[in-house]
Chain A
Amino acid sequence: MSALVAERTDVPPSLARKWDLSTNPKAATCPFHAAAEILDGPDVFFNPGEAHPRSKGLGGNWVVTRYELQREVLQTPEIFSSYLISGFSRLMGEEWPLVPLELDAPDHGQYRMLLNPLFSPARINDLEAGVRQAAAELIEKVRADGGCDFMEAFGRPFPVGVFMRLMGLPLEETALFLEWEEGLLRGQTMDDRARAAFSIKDYLVRLIAERRRRPGQDLVSFIINSQIDGKPISDQRILGVAYLLYVAGLDTVAATLGFTFRELAMRPELQRQLRADQRLIPDAVEEFIRAFGVVVTYRYLTQDYEFHGVKMRKGDMVEIPLGVASRDDSEYADPHLIDFGRENTRNITFAAGPHRCIGSHLARREFKIALEEWMTRVPEFRIRAGETPKVHAVSVWGVSSLPLAW
């Protein structure tokens, strides 16, 4: 047992509950159905176990289950801090924040205001042609084959390609970035993950130095040449931005695409709706986003605080599995049903509050384009006969393999 686990004698026994999706057999079929089981218990509970890399050695963390309560936590950053919540730099034995994700006010707002224009709805229109080209090229590679593993052919490389174009990186290096992503997020051991983390860091540090020497039209050059409070931005902060952009938009988009296309493959009537009228696609995108909150985010208490009758202590970690909010029956009628005509699709899949995902507009456009290009170029597809998609509920909930046939 890890030395980091400590007894929390102040937690009422009725609120303590061991929760581990990796030991729930239902999670292998659908992590959302499996995770929604915790909605049967207390709205906020304490999950004992290993300490989060950010916490001060306290074993376990609070889990907030309901949509409304998750929203409230995310809208209260002065109590629920984001500093170093992802644990990525800690993985390397270092202590620098992903920017602006792991910053609190006032720094957070300054970096957020600098970066907002790069990801605004208007700016995304400028990126559309490149994103659509990326989608079309990937689809055309497999269309004539009559089938593919969707994650290998499209789900994973599509968002990596978008990231590479945004950062002005050579597309020939896509395979390398995919390999690092796999190692960082799903490495078998901590060593594997740390090694991948360092590979990414080393690459980005070299990239930043290169862009100082020879600025371009890309995102990194823009940040290097920006100022906050009349001062240039430090190398550590630039790395924090670049690293966040790398990790934030890859697995998240890939996972959502995986669940989306698995659903479409299992329910061809949904495909027929979209093929008959592509104007339904934006509503379909929002419903898929609603249903598939793949990210689990964290906050930690800046002070002792009573949250809806639960006494939390300064330094406590709070886990916010957004995929449980996705299936909260207090918020959504028949939450497990994917229904493009659903009235209420408002969601916190991109979180809420000041840390609302800056890439949300880009993500929506990626999903829209993915659906448009697949519905246009590829005939009705199904899960390949005799095969089963593989899902995982580790870090970002995702799909590791999705064999399709058409």
Chain B
Amino acid sequence: MRIKVNHTLCSGHARCIAVAPDVYAVNSDGYNEMPETEISADKQAQALRGARACPEQAIVIIDGQTR
């Protein structure tokens, strides 16, 4: 599974890191600047929860389990 963040859509709600702090990181202003990132099996459930928490729907899950 990989996560891909649309940085243009990200508006700094910081819900991704609030819900899934082991997967997501934000910069000092609270915006997600993560590059496309591979997610280990043990963190996939968290990654999905974090992606779903984004009000901008800026996080896309690639090659993972279906939602």
Q: Knowing A117-B28, A120-B29, A348-B55, say if A75 contacts B9 (CB, 8 Å).
A: yes
Is A303 an interface position by the 8 A CB rule?
no
In A68-114, the 8 Å CB interface with B consists of 71, 75, 113
Question: Are A360 and B13 within 8 A (Cβ)?
Answer: yes
Question: What sequence of 0s and 1s flags, for each residue 348-379 of chain A, a beta carbon within 8 Å of any chain B beta carbon?
Answer: 10101110100011000000000000000000
Q: Are B30 and A75 in contact (CB under 8 A)?
A: no
> For the complex, what is the distance from the CA of A356 to the CA of B53, rounded to whole Å?
15
Q: How large is the interface on B (under 10, 10 to 19, 20 to 34, 35 or more residues)?
A: 10 to 19
Instruction: Check if A120 sits within 8 Å of B28, measured CB to CB.
Output: yes
**CB of A37 to closest CB in B, whole Å:** 24
Decide: B52 and A344 in contact? CB cutoff 8 A. Answer: yes
Name the distance in Å between A30's Cβ and chain B's nearest Cβ.
Answer: 24
Partner of A356, one of B12, B26, B57: B12
Q: Are B12 and A116 in contact (CB under 8 A)?
A: yes
Q: Mark B1-44, 1 if CB is under 8 A from A, else 0.
A: 00000000101111100100000001011100000000000000
- The answer on a CB contact under 8 Å between B11 and A356 is yes
**Distance in angstroms between the alpha carbons of A116 and B26 in the assembled complex:** 13
A356-B13, A360-B13 as given contacts; A346 in contact with B30, CB under 8 Å: no
A121 touches B (CB below 8 Å): yes
User: How far apart sit A348 and B54, CA to CA, in the bound complex (Å)?
Assistant: 10
* Distance in angstroms between the alpha carbons of A113 and B55 in the assembled complex: 20
Cβ contacts under 8 Å, A352 to chain B: 11, 55-56
A345 proximity list for chain B (CB < 8 A)? 53
Q: A21–B15 Cα gap in the complex (Å)?
A: 32
Residue of A nearest to B57 (CB): A71
Q: Judging by beta carbons under 8 Å apart, are B11 and A354 in contact?
A: yes
Q: Report yes or no: B13 in contact with A120, Cβ–Cβ below 8 A.
A: no
Do B55 and A361 touch across chains, with their CB atoms under 8 A apart?
no
Tell me if A122 and B13 are in contact (CB < 8 A). Answer: no
List B contacts of A353 (CB < 8 A).
11, 56
Report the Cα distance A348→B57, complex, angstroms. Answer: 11
Q: Are A361 and B14 in contact (CB under 8 A)?
A: yes
9 contacts between A and B (CB under 8 A): A71-B55, A71-B57, A75-B9, A75-B56, A121-B30, A122-B28, A346-B15, A347-B55, A353-B11
Interface positions of B (Cβ within 8 A of A):
9, 11-15, 18, 26, 28-30, 52-57
Q: A71-B55, A346-B53, A356-B11 are in contact. List 20 more A-B contacts (CB 8 A).
A: A71-B56, A71-B57, A75-B9, A113-B29, A116-B12, A116-B29, A116-B30, A117-B28, A117-B29, A120-B30, A121-B30, A122-B28, A122-B30, A346-B15, A347-B55, A350-B55, A352-B56, A356-B13, A360-B13, A361-B14
- State the A residues within 8 Å of B (CB): 71, 75, 113, 116-117, 120-122, 282, 344-348, 350, 352-354, 356, 360-361
